[in-house]
Amino acid sequence: MYYLPAKASRIRLREAQNARNNRAEIIKARSIGQITRRDLYKWGIFTAAGTLALKNGLSPFARSAFADSNVPTGTPRSPLFGGQKFTQRLSRLNLQTPVPLTRVPSADPASNADAAFPAALGERPARRLSYHTDFTANPSDPQFINPVTHRGPIEGRPPGEIFAHQRWNEFFPKVGYVMSVGPVVANTSFHPNFPAQEPNSIWTYSSGRTNTGGVTPNGVLPPFLIKGRYGEPILTRIYQNEPVDRAQNNGFGRNETQVHFHNAHNGAESDGAANTHHFPGTFYDYRWSTTLARRDKINTDATDPRASGPDGNGGLVNVAGDFRELQGTMWAHDHRFFFTAEDVYKGNFGMINYYSGPDRGNEVLTDGINLRLPSGSLLDSGNLDFDVNLIVSDAALDPTGQYFFDIFTTDGFLGDLMLVNMAYAPFMEVLPRKYRFRTLNASMSRFIQLQLADSSGNAVPFLFIANDGNLVVNPIPLTSLDQQGPAERYDIIVDFSKFRIGDTVTLVSTLKQTDGRLPAQQLPLRQALAGTSEDPTVGGILQFRIVDQVPSVDVPGVIHHATDPDPSVVPNVLTEQIPIVTPVRTRVVIFGDGEGDSRGRNGQCTPDCPPTAQFPWVLQVNNGEQHSMNANRIQLLYPKAGDIEHWTFINDGGDWDHPIHLHFEEGITMNRGGNPIPATELLVRKDVWRLRPDGRVQFQIQFGEYGGSYVNHCHNTVHEDFSMLMRIQLLTGVAGSPQVAITATPNPTPDGVVFTTPEVLPEATTTASTRS
Ligand SMILES: [Cu+2]
């Protein structure tokens, strides 16, 4: 078991804490580059199979010096400082305010215009090509030199056409956000009883640029929320405000970041996972295009009003593309290869809701398109009064109460405290009416399974409406969600109208997990609610209190009352099914443990490791070579935009449940081999699939509109950091685009980017029987 029992003896706790301190030293040394993973293998601390060696004084699973020889030492639980559950109010996510962008003339001959921020912000205009190019051309011009480090470029986006914003004029940004990521502000804590976090324990976002005067603590919790609208492309400028000194990280986290907008339909240059991390003092312009998939194939003249976004005045802006591919609940998070777990855990994430004609975030507008899902009506779209983002993540604290990350083993990291929107066990006041909840599992390795309990411990039914941000065709009535792996999003509708003022409903985490490999079992609701499981996270994580009035978050000063009518509806049909068709080709991707197979050249975590390092997991496409991640190697080539393929993911690694994430496109889940498939997955579009032990899943996939370098990987971010990724190269077929061909690999440094030519693996064709 990961965590020691609550009543473990003092000597045993001390022993376990010493072991944890030793591990923390190693994690810190690795995160700041004093030692490498290779050293850890050389010293025998990691084995070739990836487990932390069972050395007494180091591993939580080592035999205890004094206890029964088979009892692992475990690790001490997080101190609670007397903090009780359900004594602090839930904080809603930190809503960001967009600024309008205007077109100004551009010196770039290939672009009509740059996008200017309001003058008061003092920002350089955003443009198709990065400012990196100016630095490369004028390396001594102070205008293009990083004002914090006095080195390198001011923009971290790599130079040249291959990192230019694809289809810039077509998706010219209309609104902008200026944000920075950096140390958290003073007096931030997870609970009023807990000590304040030191600034470098948490690195998170705030609005505004504050890095020009040096490094100042400025991140804020809860995490950010951005409301995007189809038809309104976004330019998000992120200043990297983390400490210049890599050692100033309070034990974990790398001061280099790239922000991945999880499965939004963007060019590789804005996907945030193309080996494009950037450094303190630099900014990076992400153009979040709000492109609706299939815009080059379906509804190309934008006449279908279901493919649309809110216009800000109650009307719609039509967009080209397939309305069946509209997305809603998404998130963005750090994707610095090989440090993703540390960085995301540290607070580098937020959520983004996309609003569309059907999924408007307005429950009264009646135009035949709007579904009128629970949300509110004070704003034309994007109402949040009855539409609530809930980020669930596990956390651990050291004995002084500081946020703590421990890789324990390469199996994965588990915290023992459940946070909702980065707060420990909060409560939320709700009216007796329908609400929508957008749940996200933002844990590093923990799977969750959520249920709702009334005050007698009975399950409260709800409707499941969206999986990974994709509406299901018909709402699915449930009393328990399915398991939810890291990065999976489930949207549900809960109707509190049958409750009376004063009643409570508890959101309960019912899934026991005792190591990073996979969940153990779901506990019966009452038993979970009792909070007596050896897994301290099992139990209530959020309490809803039914009250007679709540203040609006959409329009400050407005009060909503229990006696107000609930005009929201949950229609029986939310979208249409995309049919499964005969594919152009099929592919099989095997996620293996790299043992007992000689076909591999596994072992790279390029650029951060020497080629001889050993890693526990490998990916294999179509019976080809087995590999772990090398950013300079293309393991899967998708040759032609619009080709429909059927992919099968197979878990060949034994006792693991890997939540596998495919960037950029969603797949329509077809089957799980011969195993049963829940209604919440069957024919449902997803971007993360749990690959249960020896499990498999097949889905239909089609890429389009953008190209470049993307990845497919395990979203147990600890596995991901131990190289369980592969590079996919997408070719666009857009004439004139550099992404019609394979693109070079950027290798970022604080002084600029060096490009290398990637190795392209020949995909074996033994299983690609229909390959054209
Ligand atoms: Cu995994």
Over the stretch 210-254, which tens digit does the pLDDT of each residue have? 544 444 448 999 999 999 999 999 999 999 999 999 999 998 999
Distance 339 CA to ligand 1 centre (A): 15
pLDDT of residue 44: 58
Distance 690 CA to ligand 1 centre (A): 9
The whole-model pTM stands at: 0.93
- In 3-state terms, what secondary structure has residue 536? coil
Distance 502 CA to ligand 1 centre (A): 43
pLDDT of residue 610: 59
Mean confidence (pLDDT) of the chain:
89
Distance 485 CA to ligand 1 centre (A): 10
Distance 764 CA to ligand 1 centre (A): 24
Mean pLDDT of the 96-107 span: 96
414 with 482: CB under 8 angstroms?
Answer: no
Distance 716 CA to ligand 1 centre (A): 5
Q: Name residues whose C-beta falls within 8 Å of residue 736's C-beta, 6 or more positions apart in sequence.
A: none
Distance 517 CA to ligand 1 centre (A): 8
Q: Rounded CA gap, 305 and 278, in Å?
A: 40
Distance 482 CA to ligand 1 centre (A): 18
Query: For residue range 312-366, what is the model confidence (pLDDT) as tens digits?
Result: 999 999 999 999 999 999 999 999 988 999 999 999 999 999 999 999 999 999 9
Distance 50 CA to ligand 1 centre (A): 12
Q: How far is CA 765 from CA 586, 591, 636, 772, in A?
A: 10, 17, 12, 11
Distance 146 CA to ligand 1 centre (A): 37
Query: For residue range 149-172, what is the model confidence (pLDDT) as tens digits?
Result: 999 999 999 999 999 999 999 999
Q: How far is CA 559 from CA 96, 344, 382, 388, 436, in A?
A: 22, 36, 18, 17, 19
Distance 78 CA to ligand 1 centre (A): 25
Q: Rounded CA gap, 40 and 47, in Å?
A: 9
Query: For residue range 142-151, what is the model confidence (pLDDT) as tens digits?
Result: 999 998 899 9
Distance 661 CA to ligand 1 centre (A): 10
Distance 538 CA to ligand 1 centre (A): 22
Distance 528 CA to ligand 1 centre (A): 26
Q: Rounded CA gap, 557 and 651, in Å?
A: 53
* Residues facing 14 on adjacent strands: none
* Residue 174 clears pLDDT 50, i.e. is over it: yes
Distance 315 CA to ligand 1 centre (A): 44
Distance 100 CA to ligand 1 centre (A): 41
Q: Rounded CA gap, 727 and 276, in Å?
A: 13
Distance 721 CA to ligand 1 centre (A): 10
Q: Name residues whose C-beta falls within 8 Å of residue 2's C-beta, 6 or more positions apart in sequence.
A: 60, 74, 75, 408, 414, 416, 514, 515, 535
Distance 389 CA to ligand 1 centre (A): 26
Distance 57 CA to ligand 1 centre (A): 27
Q: Which residue, chain included where needed, has tokens 């941000």?
A: 469
Q: Which of 412-426, 451-465, 603-617, 634-648 has the lowest mean pLDDT?
A: 603-617
pLDDT of residue 720: 87
Distance 715 CA to ligand 1 centre (A): 6
Distance 719 CA to ligand 1 centre (A): 5
449 with 481: CB under 8 angstroms?
Answer: yes
pLDDT of residue 597: 54
Mean pLDDT of the 697-702 span: 97
What does the block give as tokens for 758? 């990637």
* Residues facing 355 on adjacent strands: 229
Distance 255 CA to ligand 1 centre (A): 24
Q: Rounded CA gap, 71 and 666, in Å?
A: 44
Distance 49 CA to ligand 1 centre (A): 14
pLDDT of residue 91: 97
Distance 660 CA to ligand 1 centre (A): 7
Q: Which of 543-547, 609-613, 732-736 has the lowest mean pLDDT?
A: 609-613
Distance 381 CA to ligand 1 centre (A): 38
Q: Rounded CA gap, 55 and 109, in Å?
A: 62
Distance 182 CA to ligand 1 centre (A): 28
Q: Name residues whose C-beta falls within 8 Å of residue 107's C-beta, 6 or more positions apart in sequence.
A: none
Distance 727 CA to ligand 1 centre (A): 16
Distance 84 CA to ligand 1 centre (A): 33
Q: Which amino acid is at 541?
A: I
Which class for 505: exposed (0-12), middle (13-18), buried (19 or more C-beta within 10 A)?
A: buried
Distance 652 CA to ligand 1 centre (A): 11
What does the block give as tokens for 262? 């999880």
Distance 696 CA to ligand 1 centre (A): 14
Q: Rounded CA gap, 480 and 494, in Å?
A: 12
Higher pLDDT, 122 or 423: 423
What does the block give as tokens for 697? 């899943």
Q: Name residues whose C-beta falls within 8 Å of residue 462's C-beta, 6 or more positions apart in sequence.
A: 452, 477, 478, 479, 492, 493, 494, 495
Q: Which of 707, 589, 580, 708 is nearest to 644 (CA)?
A: 580
Q: Which of 652, 751, 707, 766 is nearest to 274 (CA)?
A: 707
Distance 516 CA to ligand 1 centre (A): 9
Query: For residue range 635-654, what is the model confidence (pLDDT) as tens digits?
Result: 999 988 999 999 999 998 77
Higher pLDDT, 720 or 22: 720
Distance 518 CA to ligand 1 centre (A): 9
Distance 293 CA to ligand 1 centre (A): 28
Distance 444 CA to ligand 1 centre (A): 10
Distance 338 CA to ligand 1 centre (A): 14
Q: Which amino acid is at 505?
A: V
Distance 452 CA to ligand 1 centre (A): 28
Distance 673 CA to ligand 1 centre (A): 19
Which class for 314: exposed (0-12), middle (13-18), buried (19 or more C-beta within 10 A)?
A: middle
Q: Rounded CA gap, 52 and 55, in Å?
A: 8
Distance 384 CA to ligand 1 centre (A): 34
Distance 691 CA to ligand 1 centre (A): 9
Q: Rounded CA gap, 350 and 389, in Å?
A: 10
pLDDT above 90 as % of the chain: 74
Distance 421 CA to ligand 1 centre (A): 24
pLDDT of residue 256: 96
- In 3-state terms, what secondary structure has residue 119? helix
Band the pLDDT of 626: cuts 50, 70, 90.
Answer: confident
Measured on CA atoms in the order 692, 719, 407, 71, is the torsion positive or negative? positive
Q: Where are the beta strands (DSSP E) in 572-704?
A: 585-592, 618-621, 626-627, 633-638, 644-651, 658-662, 667-671, 685-686, 688-691, 696-702
* Residues facing 352 on adjacent strands: 226, 330
- Residue 365 Cα to chain centre, angstroms: 31
pLDDT of residue 72: 42
- Residue 690 Cα to chain centre, angstroms: 15
- CA angle, 220 as apex, 214 and 226 as ends, to 5°? 110
Distance 549 CA to ligand 1 centre (A): 44
pLDDT of residue 600: 58
Q: Which residue, chain included where needed, has tokens 């971010």?
A: 717
Q: Rounded CA gap, 354 and 466, in Å?
A: 13
Query: For residue range 8-40, what is the model confidence (pLDDT) as tens digits?
Result: 788 777 877 777 777 777 777 777 777 776 666
Dihedral angle over CA of 187, 188, 192, 196, nearest 10: -60
In degrees rounded to 5, what are phi and psi of residue 40? -60, -40
* Residues facing 349 on adjacent strands: 333
